[in-house]
Amino acid sequence: MNKRKVVILGGGVGGIVTANHLAEILPKEIEIILIEKNKIHSFAASYLWLMVNKRRMQQITSQLRELVSNRVNILFEEIKLIDAQNKTVTTEKSNINFDYLVIALGASLYKTHLDKHQSGIHTFFTFQGSIELNKALQNFKGGNVSIVVSSLPYKCPGAPYEGAMLIKDFLSKKLKNNFTVNLYSPEPQPLPVAGPELGNSVKEILNKKGIGFHPLEQMTSINYTERKVEFASGNSVSYDLLVIIPSHKTPDVITNSGLVDESGWIAVNKDTLETKYENVFAIGDVTSITVPGRWQPDKPMKLPKAGVFAHSQAISVSKIIASRILGKESKELFCADGFCMLEAGEDLAGFAYGDFYASPHPDVKMKQLGKLWHWGKVLFEKWWLSPYGLKKSFYKTLLEAGGKSLRIPINL
């Protein structure tokens, strides 16, 4: 076997899982390189808890090196150029050739509006943003809290709704009734790709909590002086505290790579996650994957940008790469089964799950709110942030205890 090199770009969920899974299933002589500019990994799903004072900064961060197998060589460098055709990656320090490439760089955020804290504008979609929003909520004296989805698509489709419910819960304990919470989105309903049943369930929860939901409202501008948001419909809303879900885009290095399609994201084979270049794969938020439409069958929708899909895509791609390196036939296909624990405040959460590749449209259901789903999310957080060696030991213990039939990924 010729020595092969697998390069993984990005140290988020997809990159970490890919690196660790390959480290377990590939022969030792295969080189695995992970390139990520940040040494500290923060768990994005917990930014919502950081926002409402349920977490401290150090509780949702870890050294990336601790989360990744020691077999993986991590380069803490910024990626400057991806040449998929000639199979090279350039950073500010290195030129790296590869045989196989996995792009897991996620989505970037437009910074428009995000430096306007003096105008009452905040976000919980970044680590620092959640810290600043926590301060703003603690100092909030009352009035209208508006949560606005800037544009589509955005990652973690349940996050705006979770954010609204957690903010309502936090302020209810602090201010009683001296405030309102309203959510504005360009979407026709919450989580539209999942269909009307799930969307109506989420709307019912919002309604019970006294949160206003305003669909089909596309933000066009913000008047900082008057603290007013304008929408394409002609409607406008005055705010005392504005929480923005920023517009998303591909990282600049991807935009300049020749990999993106007309959607602005990387088009991949929906089953293998391979791009138009052989042995170059993309996973997670940076991809564009079409699924059947729920609202208009002739207008397909996109697979949501969510960590659960990045995770399962990473495992599928790892198996495909390993099979190719070992000269074996691969029957591995990404199946798009997904789930989401939707935080509702008061230590309650709902559980949405289903098959997003189902025909004629995604088949997604939601379990009733309960504390079980909330604690499931808490346990997952602790599991994810635990050192790789500890996860591996725990998995080995499960197998020795007769858990071979359990399909638990070793590389969470």
- Nearest in space to 379 (alpha carbons), one of 134, 45, 63, 124: 45
Average pLDDT, the chain: 91
- Nearest in space to 251 (alpha carbons), one of 83, 99, 82: 82
- pLDDT for res 360: 80
With H, G, I as helix, E, B as strand and everything else as coil, classify residue 290: strand
Q: Which helix (H) or strand (E) holds 344?
A: strand 337-345
* Each residue's pLDDT tens digit, 31-88: 999 999 999 999 999 999 999 999 999 999 999 999 999 999 999 999 999 999 999 9
* Each residue's pLDDT tens digit, 232-261: 999 999 999 999 999 999 999 999 999 999
Residue in the block written with tokens 């940040």: 38
Its pTM surpasses 0.85 = yes
Domain 5-107+250-336+388-400 has CATH 3.20.110.20: no
Q: Is the peptide bond before 196 cis (omega within 30 degrees of 0)?
A: no
- pLDDT for res 404: 45
Token couple for 282: 């993309």
CA gap 189, 177 in Å, rounded: 26
* Each residue's pLDDT tens digit, 107-126: 999 999 988 999 999 999 99
- pLDDT for res 104: 98
Quickly list H helices, 56-185: 64-67, 127-139, 159-175
* Res. 399: pLDDT tops 50: no
Domain 110-247 has CATH 3.50.50.60: yes
* Each residue's pLDDT tens digit, 313-343: 999 999 999 999 999 999 999 999 988 889 9
Backbone phi and psi for residue 79, each to the nearest 5 degrees, phi listed first: -80, 130
- pLDDT for res 395: 55
* Res. 400: pLDDT tops 80: no
- Nearest in space to 343 (alpha carbons), one of 320, 364, 373, 318: 373
- pLDDT for res 294: 60
Average pLDDT value for residue range 285-294: 86
CA gap 306, 291 in Å, rounded: 15
Query: When comparing pLDDT for 407 and 320, which is higher?
Result: 320
| DSSP character at residue 155 | B
| 72 alpha-carbon distance from chain centroid | 23
String of DSSP letters for 9-55: E--SHHHHHHHHHHHHHS-TTSEEEEE-S-SEEE-GGGHHHHHTTSS
CA gap 281, 412 in Å, rounded: 20
Instruction: Kindly indicate the confidence band of residue 176, based on its pLDDT and cuts at 50, 70 and 90.
Output: confident
Instruction: Kindly indicate the confidence band of residue 403, based on its pLDDT and cuts at 50, 70 and 90.
Output: very low
CA gap 19, 102 in Å, rounded: 10
Q: Which helix (H) or strand (E) holds 398?
A: helix 388-400
Residues of the chain with CATH 3.50.50.60: 5-107+250-336+388-400, 110-247
CA gap 410, 107 in Å, rounded: 26
CA gap 346, 241 in Å, rounded: 22
Token couple for 331: 């029957």
